[in-house]
Chain A
Amino acid sequence: MSATENAHGSSFVLLQVGNNRVALPAGLVAELAPPVRLHVFPHTSKLIAGVIVRRGRIVPVYEAGVVLGGRRASSQRFYLIARWQIGNADELGAIPVNGECELATGEMQPPAMNGPAYVAGTLAVGEDSFDVLNLEAFTSICFPIAGGSLNAESLS
C-alpha cells in the first residue's frame, strides 16, 4: 500500500527524523523497534546505513535524515520499521527516528506543486502541518532507476 493509496485512511504516525517532524500513513508502519545493533558491511547503495535484525528478519536501515535534513541522525532513539514497495515487491525497511512517535488522525491534503517527490501530501494536525512521506519516492532516491538515477539533491 502506497502513501497515496493510504490517503483515504485517516491514521498517520508522526515521527521525528533529524530536525524534521514528518508523517507516515499508519498502515505502512510495521513496528517501532528499540535501537538494536546496526550491522554494517561494505556496500555501494546510497543512503543505506546498514541492516538490523528484527524478529528473525534482516531489515535495511535507510538514512531518511539525509534526505529530509541533509544530515544523518546522530542519536536515534528508535527504528521505525515500515513496509516499502520496491518494484513489485513489499519489503521491510527501517528509518532511524530520534524523538517521540505519536498517532494522529486527519485528512491528507495534496502536496505543493513544487514540493519534493518524497512528500505525498500534507497533514494538518491542530495548528501544525506535517509532510507525509512517500516511501516509494524515497526508494527512488535510495535506489538508482534504470535509465537514470535520482539523488537527494535533485529531489529536495
Chain B
Amino acid sequence: MIPDSLTIDAARSSIQERTTTALALAEAHYARIQKEDGEIGAFLTLCKERALAQADRIDRMAEIAAVYPLPRGFTGDERRWYRGLAYLDDSVIPVVEPTGFLTPEEFQRLDRASAAAAFQRETEAAVQA
C-alpha cells in the first residue's frame, strides 16, 4: 500500500534507505490505478512491463554496495568527473560526481535561469487565463 502523500523525494529516500523497492512501488501504483482509474479515467495508455523493467533497473542501481576508488593510473580530468567505479551485473560503471562537471557558480546560474524560466511560464499562463 502506498500513502497518498508519497512524493518523488520520499519515494527516492525509501528506495535508498531500503524500506521499499522501486518494483514494489511500481506494482503498488499499478494496483491502485487498476482499482481507481475506472472512476477517474486519468490514464489513456499504460506500459506496465516497461515500467516494471525500469523499476527493476532502479533497484539494481540502488544495490550498488560499494564505490571503488578510481585507480591511480587515471590522472586526467576524470578524477573530477567520477566519485569512483561501481561493479554491477558484470559491468564497471563510473559513478559520476555531479559537481565535477559544473562549478558551484555554474550551478547557481543554472538555478537562477531555471527559476526565471519557470516564472516566465507561470506569468504567461496567468496572462492567457
Residues of chain A touching chain B, judged by Cβ–Cβ distance below 8 Å, are 37, 39, 41-46, 48, 51, 53, 58-60, 62, 84, 86-87, 89, 91, 93, 139, 142-144
Contacts and interface: CB of A to CB of B under 8 A. Distances in A.
A142 B92 contact: no
B75 A45 contact: yes
Contact of B91 (A39, A45, A59, A139): A39
A144 B72 CA distance: 12
Contact of B76 (A37, A43, A86, A139): A43
A42 B76 CA distance: 11
Interface residues of B, number: 17
18 contacts: A39-B91, A39-B92, A41-B93, A41-B94, A42-B81, A43-B76, A43-B78, A46-B76, A51-B71, A58-B85, A58-B87, A60-B74, A84-B73, A86-B73, A87-B72, A91-B72, A143-B73, A144-B75
A45 B73 contact: yes
A142 B73 contact: yes
A37 B90 contact: yes
Interface in B73-108: 73-78, 81, 85, 87, 90-94
A44 B73 CA distance: 11
A44 B91 CA distance: 20
A87 B92 CA distance: 25
Contacts of A84: 73
B78 A42 contact: yes
A46 B74 CA distance: 8
A91 B78 contact: no
Contact of B71 (A37, A41, A59, A144): A59
Contact of B72 (A41, A44, A89): A89
